[in-house]
Each structure stands twice: as structure tokens, then as C-alpha cells.
Chain A
Amino acid sequence: MADFTVSQAEAERLQLQKAIWSARLTRLLWWLAVLAVFVGSLLSLMPIYWMITGSFKIQHDAIAYPPELFPTHPTLQNWEKLLVGMPTLRWLLNSFIAASGVALLGVITSTLAGYAFGKKRFPGQNLLFWLLLLTMMLPKQISLIPLFIMMRDLKWFDTYFALIIPYAAYPFGIFLVKQFMQGIPNDLLDAAKIDGASEFGVFWHVVLPLTKPAVGALAIFAFMFGWNDYIWQLVVTNKQTMLTLPVGVSKLVAGWATIDIGVGMAGATLAFIPMLVIFLLFQDYFVKGITVGAVKG
């Protein structure tokens, strides 16, 4: 009997020890995972660090081996070449005009349509909405060529029209606004109508002010889309003064052999900075825009 209790105590002790070790192991693995996440974060930022520091390196240092982790002879000559010798500032302006135009038109058309889809009932509503969603999901390369030919026939090559007008309808924006407006109580709309507000008055004075977060997210996404829509900008612009910044600086790469790496990096940095500023200023809108569109349909 005594033997039995001893061995049971022994077994319990062993089991406890095992549990402690397995908890320690789990903890260790956990901290290793956390470490891996932060190393991953740094790796993710690494190309951006490399680009920015690269823009201050002279060619001799840019192709040095082992590479310089920090520019030892920092120089501004790359930036000077980029900004003085090339129509870079014009490209920057073009990108701003294109992206702002896309954002502005997108906000106007999407809030109006999103309101109708989210707050009204009308025949054909579902069909019209699903048509929008469907084309949003499908690859747009199929319409790329006909759209390109259309621009040619309209003589819109090398104009801001070509960079902006085809994106006047922004299905993602309509979707975003619809999702958001559905959450606004109908009582508010009805009350305004009883007070004699017109159809547009209800939209303008009641619904729109409540939709500001969604409109913010929409404007930012449309701007980012208008800034980074590379393939379209590449095919509809050709004249040096009508290129957008990403297209212009990417052409520096085509002549990689003849141009300084540093100039290319300065160009890439310049194309990155406006997006960075917008991202840092409006981080919450980014998160909102991404999650509204996906979690819960």
C-alpha cells in the first residue's frame, strides 16, 4: 500500500516536470516565432532602405563589393541629374494630375451610385450591382486592347483624358460606399424626407456627411490606383512630357547600362515618397478600406 502511494507520487512528479518542460518549449518556440516576425518585417522594409540610401551613392560605391550598407560618400548628384537633366518634375506633375483626377471622379461617381445601391430599391438593382462586382474581379487585360484602340480613335494618346476618364467608374469604390451606407439607419433618411428635403438633399445633407470615413478610404485607394496603374499609363503615353512618374523612371531601367544606379534609385524614391506620405497620414483609412471590402459581405 505504501509502495503504491510512493510510486504514484513519483509518477505525478514526473508528469508535472514533463508539463513544465513542454510549457517551456512552447514558450521558446513562441519567442522564436516573434523573432522571426520582426526579422521578416525588417526584410520587408529592406528594399526601401536600399533604394533610399542608394539614391545617395555614387556609381562607384553602388557597384562596390562588398556593398556599402550605408553610403560612405553621400552625394546629391543623382538627385541633381534626375531633377535638372530630365523632365522629372513634369512627370511628377502628370502623376499628380492623373491620380487626383481618378480620385476625384471616383469619389463623385462612387458615392452617388453607392448611395443608390445601398439605400434604395429599384428594378434590376441586383443585376446591375453584380455586373459591377464581376468586372471588378475579372482580369482587365481583355479590355486593355479595345480600350487602347478606342483611345487611338479618340486621339486621346498623350492626354490627361486617357489617364483619367476610363477610370471614371470605380467599381471597388461603389462597393465600399454601398457597404458603408447600408449601416446608416433609414429613420434618418425618412425624417429628412418628412422635413421636405429633396432626393439629392437627403444624399447631400444627411447621408454624405455620415459617410466621410468611407469616402476618405475611397479617395486614397483611387489615388493610389491612379498613381500605380503602370501598364495603362505605359501604353497610352509616349511623348516625354506626358509620361507619368512611374513610367518615366522605369524607362531609366531600360537604359540601365548607360545610367547611374543612383539616378534610378533617386527616381524610384521620388515615385515612392508621395505614396509614403499619404500612407503615413491616413493609415487608419487604409485599414478601414481593406477590411470593409472583405470581412462580411
Chain B
Amino acid sequence: MTVLAAYPERRRTWWQKIWDARAAYLFILPAYIPFIVFVLYPLINGLRLSFYEAGVNKAKWRFIGFDNFVRLFTRDDVFIIALKNTFLFVLIVVPVVVVISIFLAVIVFPLPRAAQSFVRMSFYMPVVSGGVVLAMVWIWIFNRDFGLLNYLLEIAGFYKLLGIPKIGWLAQTETALLSLAMVVISWSIGQPLILFLAALGNISEELYDAAKIDGASGWQIFWKITLPLLRPTTLFVLVTTTINVFQVFVVVLLMTLGGPANATQTIVYRIYENAFVFYKYGYGAAMGVVLLLIVGSIAYFQFKLLGQEVEY
């Protein structure tokens, strides 16, 4: 009896709450309608598509269960190579970006304001110019015969020292992926640097003063105070850089087309080629799902770590 009476009561207040908040819903509507139509719906559609054999002609789309995924991992050697390359790429780029940006921030922070903003501007400039612009320049810089890089290495004595012929950075399987990594590193430092500088600015001076009074050396201060206090920022940088670098694409498309001999194939480049060159939409979508699962689970674990370490 009481239960029956309470039920419509609770229901009414629930609707009441929503009705009272109608203004809030109106405020989010202009963002949420396009969000559902152009972000959520395509996302779900992408998941669906990965179970289909789907080409240009919609009438011929056919449900095939997990066949796309089975094919990806058993019969598509290039995709497996792309998977390995992408992981390798992330393993090279992310640690380098994190270490360099912390190093830069710690060294630059005590310098005068003008020096600080010069360094910050220099490393943010590649972020501003964007991948396409940089890729175009770097193709030229990497050229074996007339590129700037080989010239600088030659006058530095690099080739004489190793006694090897000039390297065609993008044309040789051993160096192609590394060269692309270098380009991606060059535009991945700017943002973390700004974050680390801001985080350093938030550390109280008193901590340092106290440490100095206790006779701590510069190294001790760095390892025992600065680095632990930069931890939240470091984890944030780690997560966002990892997510971004997993999606490496522009450098591959513009600089190597996945070559030489598949040395620079990456997941997103496989997606692009399968969907937009071969018109295999379902197959490309399946690769997208694999990427989503990889990035999602890595981000999840990194966030778990973040949640444990940081009290928000």
C-alpha cells in the first residue's frame, strides 16, 4: 500500500526535477543535437559497420559477423606490420616527448621571462604550423642528395666518423620510421612544455626555501620535490600524447605512403587506404574498432593510475 503510494510520488518528483531544469536542457541542446548526430551516431555506426562487408554500394552491404576481425589478425600481414609499427612509434615518441619537455621546463623556468617565452614560442611554433606544412618541409630536409639534414651531419663529421655513405632518411627501411618519429616529436613538445611550465609556477616557493635551509642540493630538490609535484601533469601529458601519437597519419600519407617496404605502415594509414582508396568501408571500420580498443584500454589504465596518484 505504502509502496504503491510512494511510487507515483517519486515518479512525479523525478519528472518535476527534469521540468524544473528545462532551461538547462535548452542550453545544452544546440551542442547536444549535433553531438548525437555527428559524433555519437557515427561512432555507433562505425561499430556496426565493422561487422559488415561494406563497399560503395549500400544495397550490397552484408552482415559477416567477426569475419573482418578474423581476417585482420590471420590473413592481413600488412595490418600486423602496421600494428607493430604503431606501437613502436608510440614507444619511441612518447618517452622522448615527456623527458624533453620536463627537461626544458625545469631548465627554462628560473630564466628571465623573455627567455622563457622565447623557448615556449619556439617549441609551440610547430604545433601552430600544423602537420601538413611541416611534413612538406621535412621531405626536403630529409632528402639524401640535397637535404639540409645530411649537410649538417656531414659538416658535423657524422658520416666520416661512422664511415658510411649518406643516408636517404625516408627511403631506407632502417631509418624511415625513426625519421617520421622525429617529425612527430618536433610538434609534440610545445603543449606539454606549456603545461609543465604552468605546473612549476604552481609549486610554492616555500617548499624550495625549506629544502635549501635543510641543505638539499639542486639534484635532490629536483628528484625529491619538483618531480613528484609534477606527477599529475606528467600523467596527463602521458595520456594525451599517447592517444595522439597512436593516431599518427599525416606524416605517413605525405612523406612515405607507408613505405619503403611497409616500414612506415600505421593503423590509421591502413584505415585511410582501405576506406578511401580501396572503398572497403567495413574492413576499415574494423581497423577503427581495433584502434579504439587499444587506445581506450591504454587510456583507461593510465587514468586508473592518475586516479590513484592524484587527489582532485
Which A residues from 10 to 47 make CB contacts under 8 A with B?
26, 30, 33-34, 36-38, 40-42, 44-47
B208 interfacial by beta-carbon distance below 8 Å: no
Selected from B119, B121, B132, B289, the residue in CB contact (under 8 A) with A246 is B132
What separation, in Å, do the CA atoms of A297 and B233 have in the docked complex?
A: 11
Which A residues from 47 to 100 make CB contacts under 8 A with B?
47-48, 50-51, 54, 62-67
Give the secondary structure class of B's interface: helix
- What is the chain B residue whose CB lies nearest that of A132? B35
- B30 near A139 with CB under 8 A, answer no
- A246 near B46 with CB under 8 A, answer no
- A44 near B194 with CB under 8 A, answer no
- B121 to chain A minimum Cβ distance, whole angstroms, is 7
- B27 near A145 with CB under 8 A, answer no
Select the stretch in B3-11, B69-77, B157-165, B291-299 that faces chain A: B291-299
- A112 near B288 with CB under 8 A, answer no
Selected from A47, A166, A230, the residue in CB contact (under 8 A) with B141 is A47
B99 interfacial by beta-carbon distance below 8 Å: no
User: How many residues of chain A are within 8 Å of chain B by beta carbon?
Assistant: 97
Selected from A36, A128, A231, A268, the residue in CB contact (under 8 A) with B133 is A268
Interface string of A249-265 (1 = CB under 8 A from B): 11011001000010011
B169 interfacial by beta-carbon distance below 8 Å: no
With contacts A112-B28, A297-B312 taken as known, whether A47 is within 8 angstroms of B128 at the C-beta atoms is: no
Q: Which residues of A contact B271 (CB under 8 A)?
A: 141, 144-145
- A137 near B299 with CB under 8 A, answer yes
Interface string of B123-142 (1 = CB under 8 A from A): 11110111111111111110
- B256 to chain A minimum Cβ distance, whole angstroms, is 12
- A295 near B202 with CB under 8 A, answer yes
Selected from A33, A50, A138, A272, the residue in CB contact (under 8 A) with B292 is A138
- A7 to chain B minimum Cβ distance, whole angstroms, is 25
- B198 near A291 with CB under 8 A, answer yes
B114 interfacial by beta-carbon distance below 8 Å: no
- B126 near A47 with CB under 8 A, answer yes
- What is the chain B residue whose CB lies nearest that of A105? B34
- B305 to chain A minimum Cβ distance, whole angstroms, is 15
A159 interfacial by beta-carbon distance below 8 Å: no
A148 interfacial by beta-carbon distance below 8 Å: yes
Instruction: Point out which of B30, B246, B249 has the most chain A C-beta atoms below 10 A from its C-beta.
Output: B30
Interface string of B271-312 (1 = CB under 8 A from A): 110011000010011011101100110010000000000001
- A51 near B136 with CB under 8 A, answer yes
Which B residues from 95 to 134 make CB contacts under 8 A with A?
100, 103-104, 107-108, 111, 117-126, 128-134
- B24 near A116 with CB under 8 A, answer yes
- B295 near A51 with CB under 8 A, answer no
B38 interfacial by beta-carbon distance below 8 Å: yes
A174 interfacial by beta-carbon distance below 8 Å: yes
With contacts A135-B40, A290-B194 taken as known, whether A231 is within 8 angstroms of B108 at the C-beta atoms is: no
Which A residues from 246 to 288 make CB contacts under 8 A with B?
246-247, 249-250, 252-253, 256, 261, 264-265, 267-268, 271-272, 275-276, 278-279, 283, 286-287
With contacts A34-B107, A249-B136, A250-B254 taken as known, whether A146 is within 8 angstroms of B45 at the C-beta atoms is: yes
A-B pairs, 3 with minimum CB distance: A122-B21, A143-B42, A168-B34
Q: Which residues of A contact B (CB under 8 A)?
A: 26, 30, 33-34, 36-38, 40-42, 44-48, 50-51, 54, 62-67, 108-110, 112-113, 115-117, 120-123, 125, 128, 131-132, 135, 137-139, 141-150, 165-171, 174, 199, 203, 224, 227-228, 230-231, 235, 246-247, 249-250, 252-253, 256, 261, 264-265, 267-268, 271-272, 275-276, 278-279, 283, 286-287, 290-291, 294-297
Apart from A137-B299, A144-B271, A145-B284, list 11 A-B contacts with CB within 8 A: A41-B122, A47-B126, A109-B30, A123-B14, A137-B243, A138-B43, A139-B288, A142-B292, A145-B49, A146-B49, A295-B199
